[in-house]
Amino acid sequence: MLTVDFNSYLQTVPDRLGWSLDISDIFSVSSTRSFLDNGLITSTDITTRWNNWVPIKLNILTWRVKLQSIPTRETLSSTGILVETIMCPICSCLVETVHHLFVGCSDLMDIWTRIAIWWGLNLPDPITIHSLLSWSDIVTLRASQRKIFDAVVITTFWCIWNFRNAIIFGTVIPKKALFFDDVVHKAFFWISNRCKKAKLGWSTWLHNPSFITM
Give residue 175's domain range: 56-211
Residues 32 and 101 in one domain: no
**pLDDT tens-digit map of 86-122:** 999 999 999 999 999 999 999 998 999 999 999 999 9
**pLDDT tens-digit map of 182-211:** 999 999 999 999 987 777 889 999 998 888
Residues 202 and 103 in one domain: yes
Q: Is the dihedral of CA 194, 198, 199, 202 positive or negative?
A: negative
Domains of the chain: total: 2
Q: Find the DSSP H helices in the chain.
A: 29-40, 56-66, 73-78, 98-99, 110-119, 129-133, 143-169, 179-194, 202-207
Within a domain: 6: no
Which contiguous run of DSSP H or E holds residue 126? none
Phi-psi region of 120 (alpha: psi -120 to 50; beta: other; left: phi over 0): left
Residues 27 and 133 in one domain: no
Within a domain: 180: yes
Residues 197 and 170 in one domain: yes
**pLDDT tens-digit map of 135-165:** 999 998 988 899 999 999 999 999 999 999 9
Residues 76 and 108 in one domain: yes
Within a domain: 48: no
